[in-house]
Copies of this chain bind each other. A is one copy, B any other.
Amino acid sequence: MPAAIITKDEVLSRLLEVFRRDGYDGASLAEISRATGLGKSSLYNHFPGGKEQMALEVLAALGASLERDLFAPLAAAGPREKRLDAMLEAIDAFYDGGNKACLLERLAASVDRRPFSRPLAAAFTRWMGAIEALAIEAGVKGAVAARRAEDAVVRIEGALVVSAAMGETGPFERALADIRATLLEP
């Protein structure tokens, strides 16, 4: 039984899946242990701060992933519509076509949300800012661009909620299509 069959990134990736599925309050250490394949003591070795630290590290890792896979491509060179499409496809994949929940929402809904307040607000602000920048670059006026960016994020989050509650992904698919069609309109 030698060490580290699983990398820390992989651990964080599995923790992400547990938290987004069960929520912070609903995710038990037993389930976390099962999902990661690590015993409780191993978990406390990696995360001395317990579940709270796990969620905070997952949040930080997700932020880094988004920066690399979503926001950087959004601000890169190339046709604007292409970049918007790439973002929407990445979002579609990340949420599994509307079948998986949003970690930000799940952490924001936990009973003791204070430890997550700042990173959550920062994540949403960053997300909206990246979309807003693309809209502005496409010639949309500043105030309108900010409103549209907020609306896009609002629609994605709401569509995930409605899709989950109704047990069908139609609302999510339609929300993404709508954003694609209207975000960069003059």
A→B interface (CB under 8 Å)? 22-23, 25-26, 101-102, 104-106, 108-111, 117, 120-121, 123-125, 147, 150-151, 153-159, 161-162, 164-167, 171, 174-175, 178
Residues of B within 8 A of A178 (CB): 151
- CB–CB B171/A154 < 8 A: yes
Closest to A164 in B: B108
Could you say how many copies of this chain the assembly holds? 2
Residues of B within 8 A of A174 (CB): 147, 150-151
The answer on a CB contact under 8 Å between B121 and A161 is: no
With A and B bound together, what is the CA distance between A150 and B170 in angstroms? 10
16 contacts between A and B (CB under 8 A): A22-B25, A23-B109, A23-B111, A101-B109, A104-B165, A108-B165, A109-B164, A120-B165, A124-B165, A151-B155, A153-B162, A154-B155, A154-B175, A157-B157, A158-B159, A161-B161
